Structure 1
Amino acid sequence: MKVLPFTVSIVFAGLVSVAGAGGVMAQEDYDDYAAESVEPDPWEPVNRAIFSFNDTVDRFTLKPVAKVYDRVVPEPVSNSISNVFSNLGEPRNLVNDTLQGKFHAAGIDTARFLLNSTVGVLGVFDVATKMGLQRNDEDFGQTLGAWGVPSGPYIVLPLLGPSTVRDGGSRIPESFARYTYVEQVDHVPTRNTAIGTALVDTRASLLSREKLIRGDRYRFVRNAFLQNREFQVKDGEVEDPF
């Protein structure tokens, strides 16, 4: 998901990790995410301050809008909107699966994009999933991890939410790759409307999942994000720390 004029995923990026498909659930007393990471959060005081800022922005801007959206938009319509933006993300999955040597997954990505863009009416209907072609979720941060680049310390980016040094840095080459609809749409009002709709739709889908958060909100979101990123990079082949 890309940046709107002033925001993108805010703190709810952590909630995406909490409820990530096939991911792992954060444990409140779990403070590590990889065997080689002695201290995954060495900049915690700064990160907490940025997290608090992001959380405040979300609470007073994006979350209220998402609540209204959730109330007024019928579920079939919101599902169709989610399907459209998921379909627009398939080229990113295709590129990164190819870079990781996952050619079978890349073939699935291609088939999904072609089927949903045609039979699925520009992605409104996810016919590919119903045909047994499950969606992959890949980005360049995962590709770097697959290539052996360590994640580095946890960081919280202003307005962008949870990340790591590796994943934060991966945003730079991704911005030059131009494999998302954001880089392909030159008409600014249209682009911002699409980004805003995707952002609100995603935030609305996470409203009920906030109930999963227990204890220290910062720690819970951090652990959920780090555990889920390890799960994604290793394609689910992670050791149970317990």
Structure 2
Amino acid sequence: MERLGKGLWGLVAAATLAGCASNSPQVANPADPWEGFNRRVFAFNQTLDRYALKPVAQGYDFVTPQPVQEGVGNFFSNLGELRTIINSALQWKWANAGVASGRFLVNTTLGLGGVLDPATRMGWNENEEDFGQTLAVWGVGEGPFVVLPLLGGRTLRHASGLPADWYTDPLTYVEDDATRYGLRGLELINYRASVLDQEQLIQGDRYSFLRDTYLQQRRFKVNDGEQGRDSFADDDFDFNADDFAE
């Protein structure tokens, strides 16, 4: 489960940036009452990706060795441990807050600022928590699925937690604009490059596949790995969460 957070971000990036959705008729999904609007935003996102982000990510992937890409991903994941610490405490998950604190200290010091991940080798596995998950623990309903410009697909509850997540992101407090935007761009390009090979796993209607996959994975995270009954997936939808884990 420790890699689920990274896999989910890959799914969200793919849902934001994958190719056009099919125009074939689809069975209505009760989790997606705003599907018409969502598909239009999805089309905008994929157009932006097709002509801008994906070519840059492909170039980055071509010239950047895999160990360097992994180091970049580790660096940003290490910063995310601070968000996990706060949200674990808000959810009264003190054991996970302790593990995340240990991971941050070890990887920041022994891991050269988080570029390396010695904490995982020590058996302290990553288990990301965000404010959307905190809202779920506090009893806030999931709400409908919504596709946001540039940011991609979220449940309404997940989207509502984004402002709090931004406030707990250390990059938010980098004062120099050029440095902050540069780091944000590097994070985005690195994540986009990490899901290039995963696009071949998309089957049928891209929008529906990625939406249902995201909903299934999100419930998996909110329930701490207990999948439970997935009322949102189509009857013929079959997906293994490990397929998208890094």
Q: For residue 161 of structure 2, give the secondary structure of its aligned residue in structure 1.
A: helix
Match of 2:153 in 1: 162
Asked if 2 retains the 8 angstrom alpha-carbon contact of 1:90 and 1:113, the reply is yes
- Residue 224 in structure 1 maps to residue 223 in structure 2: no
Q: For residue 228 of structure 2, give the secondary structure of its aligned residue in structure 1.
A: coil
Deviations 1:76-110 (A, max 9, x none): 11111111111111100111111111100000000
Q: What TM-score results when the alignment is normalised by the length of structure 1?
A: 0.83
Amino acid at match of 1:235: D
Structure 1 CA distance for aligned equivalents of residues 93 and 11 of structure 2: 29
Q: For residue 156 of structure 1, give the secondary structure of its aligned residue in structure 2.
A: strand
- Residue 120 in structure 1 maps to residue 123 in structure 2: no
Unaligned runs of 5+ in 1: 1-9, 18-28, 33-38
The correspondence of residues 7-22 of structure 1 with structure 2, limited to 5 A, is: 13=12, 15=14
Q: CA RMSD in A?
A: 2.2
Asked if 2 retains the 8 angstrom alpha-carbon contact of 1:11 and 1:161, the reply is no
Deviations 1:5-27 (A, max 9, x none): xxxxx99615389xxxxxxxxxx
- Residue 55 in structure 1 maps to residue 55 in structure 2: no
The correspondence of residues 193-208 of structure 1 with structure 2, limited to 5 A, is: 193-208=182-197
Asked if 2 retains the 8 angstrom alpha-carbon contact of 1:14 and 1:221, the reply is no
Structure 1 CA distance for aligned equivalents of residues 171 and 88 of structure 2: 20
Structure 2 CA distance for aligned equivalents of residues 213 and 188 of structure 1: 36
The correspondence of residues 25-44 of structure 1 with structure 2, limited to 5 A, is: 39-44=30-35
Structure 2 CA distance for aligned equivalents of residues 189 and 132 of structure 1: 37
Structure 1 CA distance for aligned equivalents of residues 102 and 28 of structure 2: 39
Structure 2 CA distance for aligned equivalents of residues 13 and 165 of structure 1: 14
- How many residues are aligned here? 214
Match of 1:100 in 2: 91
Asked if 1 retains the 8 angstrom alpha-carbon contact of 2:136 and 2:222, the reply is yes
Unaligned runs of 5+ in 2: 1-8, 17-25, 236-246
Match of 1:189 in 2: 178
1:31 to 1:131, Cα distance in 2 relative to 1, 3 A: farther
Q: Give % identity.
A: 45
Amino acid at match of 1:48: R
Q: For residue 89 of structure 1, give the secondary structure of its aligned residue in structure 2.
A: helix
1:16 to 1:232, Cα distance in 2 relative to 1, 3 A: farther
Structure 2 CA distance for aligned equivalents of residues 229 and 219 of structure 1: 15
Q: What TM-score results when the alignment is normalised by the length of structure 2?
A: 0.82
The structure, 1 or 2, with the larger RCO (C-alpha pairs under 8 Å, 6+ apart) is: 1
Asked if 2 retains the 8 angstrom alpha-carbon contact of 1:80 and 1:124, the reply is yes
Structure 2 CA distance for aligned equivalents of residues 171 and 60 of structure 1: 27
1:138 to 1:130, Cα distance in 2 relative to 1, 3 A: same
Match of 2:73 in 1: 82
